[in-house]
A and B are shown apart, each in its own frame.
Chain A
């Protein structure tokens, strides 16, 4: 099956620094990718839709200036958490759809655990 990877798998940073998380589709191209955030014991929350070659679309309540998304190629989307604070500590997961026509399957990355000290 299709594989989506994320890098890094975990990261610890100091408050005020920026952290970049990469999401790659390894064996297929994705013009769209999705970014989710998950707090402990909660479900995944969709943050934004990453669009190759154009601006990302953010869900209501997600600060676009804080969570910068870049989708520079058909296999790579990056999420940068700017000026990270402890409340940004979370599990970040990306996904990419593959397919056409009536069937479109989402493949999820393994997630990136961010801890902000």
Chain B
């Protein structure tokens, strides 16, 4: 059962910020928001995760709304290598990782 809703696809111009939305209106208090991505024919790659505060690392930023019902993954300067399927997953630390359909991001030159 999908706990998140993401747009099926998005385009982004190279060098621009890519903002990928995710809705998780039924998130529980102890569930984290995780983001992974999968480049074609590779295993998924962890990007970032958060509980309720905004988070930033070398790859991306994660903005979580105050009510925690939605979040946005931001790739500040998208490159062609960021073309991938991005998965937003809500889970506790010990839950299995269940993938939804994700968002297919195409970075366009």
Interface size, A (range):
20 to 34
CB neighbours of A44 from chain B (8 A): 38, 44, 99
By secondary structure, the B interface counts as loop
Q: Which residues of A contact B94 (CB under 8 A)?
A: 104
| Interchain CB contact under 8 A, B97 and A95 | yes
Which residue on B lies nearest to A1, using beta carbons? B46
Main secondary structure of the interface of A (DSSP, over half): strand
Q: Which residues of chain A have C-beta atoms less than 8 A from B102's C-beta?
A: 43
Which residue of the partner chain, among B42, B87, B93, B98, contacts A104 with CB atoms under 8 Å? B93
Check if B43 is an interface residue, CB within 8 A of chain A: yes
In contact, A43 and B42 (Cβ under 8 angstroms): no
How far, in whole Å, are A34 and B91 apart by their CA atoms in the complex? 15
- Residues of A within 8 Å of B43, CB to CB, are 4, 6, 93, 95, 108-111
A103 to B98, CA, bound (A): 17
Given A108-B44, A111-B42, are A43 and B93 also a contact pair (CB < 8 Å)? no
Given contacts A99-B93, A103-B93, A106-B46, contact A91 B41 (CB under 8 A): yes
Whether the pair B44, A93 counts as a contact (CB closer than 8 A) is yes
Q: Which of A27-81 contact B (CB under 8 A)?
A: 34, 36, 43-46, 49
Docked-complex contact A111 and B96, CB < 8 angstroms: no
A7 interfacial contact with B, CB 8 Å: no
Interface residue A87 (Cβ < 8 Å from any Cβ of B): no
B41:A34 contact, CB within 8 angstroms: no
| In the complex, B15 has a CB within 8 A of chain A | no
Contact partner of A46 among B38, B45, B87, B98, CB < 8 A? B98
List A contacts of B76 (CB < 8 A): none
Residues of B within 8 A of A49 (CB): 96
Task: Select the residue from B38, B43, B93, B94 with max chain A CB neighbours within 10 A.
Answer: B43
